[in-house]
Amino acid sequence: MTKQPRLWAGLALPGSVWLIALFAVPFYAVACIAFGTIDPIFRDAVPQWNPLNWNFVQAQEILQSLINGPLQGVILRTIIYVVSAMSISFLIGFPIAYFLARHAGKRKLLMLVLIIVPFWVNYLMRMLAWVNLLSPSGLFSRYMNFFGVHYNWLDGSPITVILGLVYGYVPFLILPLYATLDRLDWRLIEAARDLGASSRDAFRLVTVPLARAGLVAAGVLIALPMFGDYYTNDLLSRSPSTEMLGNQIDFFLNSSTQPQRGALLVLAMSAILVVAMSFYLRSTNKQAKQTLR
Amino acid sequence: MTALQSQKTRRKFSTLHVIIWGYIIWSLVPVIIAVAYSFNDGRSRTVWQGFSFRWWFSDPNASLWHDDSLRNTISNSLILSFSTMLIVTPLGITLAIGAQRIIGRKSKVVQSLTAAPLITPEIVVGAALLLTFTQLFTMIPLGYTAQLLGNVTFSLSSVVVIVRARLVSIGSSFEEAARDLGATRFQALRYVLMPMLWPAVMASLVVVFATVIDDFVITSFLSSGVGSETVPLRIYSSVKGGATPALNALATLLVLTSFTVLILGLFGLSFWRKRHGEPGGLRAALSDITQADA
């Protein structure tokens, strides 16, 4: 064992203890509640602090009933909404990041600042803005009425929820995309063009593979919070027909007293995300190895 | 390059131009309209009835200036953001320095501990902390204390990211020089490294303040009703009801506050850079702050 100065460990200690007590322990507590029992009289959750006595049977029953019941649709819907919102975000965000990195020219700083601005405008303020515009008497609705489109945007419309997610998260995608594209070695693309690749081929065979790790990272960066989002949905729809996984967690923990169900769903959500994350880590690792070779 | 080709590139440029300016308009105009409606003379948040400061000052009961419940959310938000900022910044700086230097198994534990909150959705942290404070650490009541602890936990990692980036760009040579000249480890840290960390400290303060004052999920999960209601919570609970344009005024004030802090931070950072002969000015200051968010 190498001798390490105590100073460094001492410096890292307070922060580490904080994260253990208020980040790691809470995860353990969630498991203890999810695999605990329910008080037969008060219907309260009774956490089981000893992992050896965890009650998986009841947890399984609850999960089964949720999955065969309404939750099945909710999980499927969550995935569909997140994937659609992600695709639209990339369709909007990629050309913008690309333009900023490559062709922005003189106005680059101004554009960059204007693109960073929504980053610093409160998320709920941005949703409030759209609720005002989309409400039946709002500017956007009146404008659409003028063109003969009569549609109640705020009454459980999946389109509104998906576009709301896009509007909410696109700024968080553009910045990391821009950072990735800005760092690319554009001489390689020029080389491909000089060797006879068409601009489309150069883009497909050189630009995209070079930027892939960054693209995936940026995608994950917005997919994770979108997956746990419930407030966008609540503000723009608040209808059971557009409910997502986050809404269920919010409901079980905040609006009703069924902490065990809430805890189980938190675990389920974490499990789904861990699978997604490990997939992402493996693909970036593979890429790192390939570039080293 | 043939004439045809140059024409083609020019056209491509202008399509991209349209996309980017279209995006900027799409992303900003709704917010600008919402700000404008805070000056509406009528009770509606959607139908314009003339300009007035009614919902900001003039209305004796329902304006932002006179409505106690609205003012209360503002002070709750400010207190929460300031106190989180003051706790999390020193905690994050020491953690970042320590984490960068310890080696071996301990280092792996610390690395994953600090990385985990960055990739955990906020709802998971909020829900886990809610269950912890109601079932395990029951001595911590929901409300301000729980919100403070939750926000510190969630923003700690972003401070570590900012400080570590700065530590990497400083390198180890300055401290080594100080050690060669006879300084102890602690002295080198205190008198050589710390002064050079200032930009990271300023960036952390700004980023933490802005994240916490805008935070909704954790603050909402850990709130205990009206007494700990912050501005974002108030916006969330009254958007759908028949709230007056005072709500727009409240949201506008929130945006103005975070922008003020951001601009102060940017100028502070570029001023520091100029005084200490580091290049970059405002542009570098901007990336000091945004890299952490990105």
Of B30, B18, B13, B290, nearest in space to A92 by CA:
B18
How far the first Cα of chain A sits from its last, in Å, is 33
Q: Which of B23, B46, B283 sits opposite A138 (nearest CB)?
A: B46
| pLDDT value, residue B213 | 95
* Nearest one of B141, B192, B111 to A16, comparing CA atoms: B111
pLDDT at B201: 93
Say how many domains are in chain B.
Answer: 1
A269/B contact by beta carbon, under 8 A:
yes
Rounded to whole angstroms, the Cα distance separating A227 from B123 reads 9
Which residues contact residue A117 at a Cβ distance below 8 angstroms, ignoring those fewer than 6 apart?
B27, B28
Rounded to a whole number of angstroms, the distance from the CA of A68 to the nearest CA of chain B is 23
Query: Could you give the count of Cα atoms lying within 13 Å of B245 in the half-sphere of its Cβ?
Result: 27
What CATH number is given to the structural domain containing B186? 1.10.3720.10
> Cβ of A20 and B33 within 8 Å?
no
Q: Is B21 part of a structural domain of the chain?
A: no
| Reported confidence tier of residue B46, pLDDT bands at 50, 70, 90 | confident
- A:B CB pairs within 8 Å: 257
Q: What angle do CA A36, A40, A44 make, to 5 degrees?
A: 55
CB B28 within 8 A of CB A118: yes
Token reading at A94: 């990629």
d(CA B40, CA B36): 7
With the C-alpha atoms ordered B229, B234, B236, B242, is the resulting torsion angle positive or negative?
positive
Tokens 């099945």 correspond to: A72
Is pTM beyond 0.90 here? no
Helix (H, G, I), strand (E, B) or coil at B241: coil
CA distances from B146 to B220, B236, B255 (A): 11, 20, 25
Average pLDDT of the segment spanning B245-267? 92
- Structure tokens given for B101: 């230097």
What phi and psi, each to the nearest 5 degrees, are found at residue A220? Answer: -60, -40
How many whole angstroms from its chain centre is CA B127?
21
DSSP string for B100-153:
HH--SHHHHHHHHHHHGGGGS-HHHHHHHHHHHHHHT-TTS-TTHHHHHHHHHH
Contacts of A29 in chain B (CB under 8 A): 128, 131-132, 135-136
What's the CATH number for A71-292? Answer: 1.10.3720.10
Long-range pairs of B10-15 with CB within 8 A, sequence gap ≥ 24: B13/A103
**Residue B291 pLDDT class (50, 70, 90 cuts):** low
Are A76 and A87 within 8 A, CB to CB?
no
Structure tokens at B56: 């900001």
**Residue pair B228/B147 in contact by the 8 Å Cβ criterion:** yes
Does the structure show a pLDDT above 90 at B130?
yes
Q: Containing H/E element for A159?
A: helix A158-183
Q: CA B281 to CA B294: how far, in whole Å?
A: 20
Tokens for B62? 């329902």
Task: Show the tokens assigned to B225.
Answer: 């009703």
What stretches in chain A show pLDDT beneath 50? 1, 293
**pLDDT value of residue B63:** 85
Q: Any CB–CB contact under 8 A between A16 and chain B? A: yes
Token pair of A62 as six digits: 């609850």
Q: What is the pLDDT of residue B293?
A: 37
CB burial of residue B118 (10 Å; 0-12, 13-18, 19+)? middle
Can you give B78-113 as a three-state secondary structure string?
HHHHHHHHHHHHHHHHHHHHHHHHCCCHHHHHHHHH
Specify the pLDDT at position A170. Answer: 94
Task: Report which secondary-structure segment, H or E, holds A29.
Answer: helix A25-34
Any CB–CB contact under 8 A between A26 and chain B?
A: yes
Assigned domain for B287 exists: yes
Asked whether the beta carbons of A89 and A166 are under 8 A apart, the reply is yes
| The pLDDT of residue B244 | 87
Q: CB–CB of B239 and A270 under 8 A?
A: no
Instruction: Scan residues 88-147 of A and list those with Cβ closer than 8 Å to B.
Output: 92, 95-96, 98-100, 103, 109, 111-133, 135, 137-139
pLDDT, tens digit (0-9, with 9 covering 90-100), for B167-178 = 988 888 998 999
Q: Minimal Cα–Cα distance from A291 to chain B, Å?
A: 23
> Is residue B52, in this structure, part of any structural domain at all?
no
Which one, of A162, A271, A231, lies nearest residue B218 by Cα?
Answer: A231
What is the pLDDT at residue B113?
87
- List the structure tokens of B152: 């510190």
Q: Average pLDDT of B31-37? A: 93
Contact B109/A16, CB-based, under 8 Å? Answer: yes
Nearest to A11 among B37, B97, B217 (CB): B97
Tokens 């007590």, residue located: A21
Please report the pLDDT score of residue B294 as a whole number: 33
Per the domain annotation, does B267 fall within a domain?
A: yes
**Contact (Cβ atoms closer than 8 angstroms) between residue B99 and residue B114:** yes
Compare all CA atoms of chain A with the CA of B20 and give the residue at the minimum distance: A96
- Classify residue B18: in a domain, yes or no: no
CB contact under 8 A, B156 and A228: no
In this complex, do A250 and B123 lie within 8 Å of one another by their Cβ atoms? yes
Work out the minimum CA distance from A79 to partner chain B, whole angstroms: 15
Q: Give residue-wise pLDDT tens across range B53-91.
A: 888 988 888 888 888 889 999 999 999 999 999 999 999
Structural domain that includes position B286: 68-293
Residues of B in contact with A270 (CB under 8 A): 120, 124
| Chain centroid to CA A63 | 23
Tokens of A224: 């994770």
| C-alpha to C-alpha distance for A148 and A142, rounded to whole angstroms | 10
Spatial contact of A244 and A74, defined as CB atoms under 8 Å apart: yes
Q: Quote the pLDDT of residue B271.
A: 87
- DSSP code at position A52: G
Measure Cα distances from B292 to A31, A102, A142, A152, B119 in Å. 31, 23, 41, 39, 14
Is-contact A152 A237, C-beta < 8 A?
no
d(Cα A61, Cα B40) in Å, to the nearest integer? 54
The pair of structure tokens assigned to A185 is 């070695």
State the Cα–Cα distance between residues B152 and B149, nearest whole angstrom: 5
Q: Give the integer Cα–Cα distance in Å for A123 and A144.
A: 25
**Looking at residue A36, what DSSP letter applies?**
S
Residues 6+ apart with CB under 8 A from A277: A220, B119
Q: Considering the domain boundaries, does residue B16 fall inside one? A: no
3-state secondary structure string across B29-82:
HHHHHHHHHCCECCCCCCCCCCECCHHHHHCCCCCCCCCHHHHHHHHHHHHHHH
Structure tokens at B241: 């009801």
Query: Cβ of A15 and B156 within 8 Å?
Result: yes
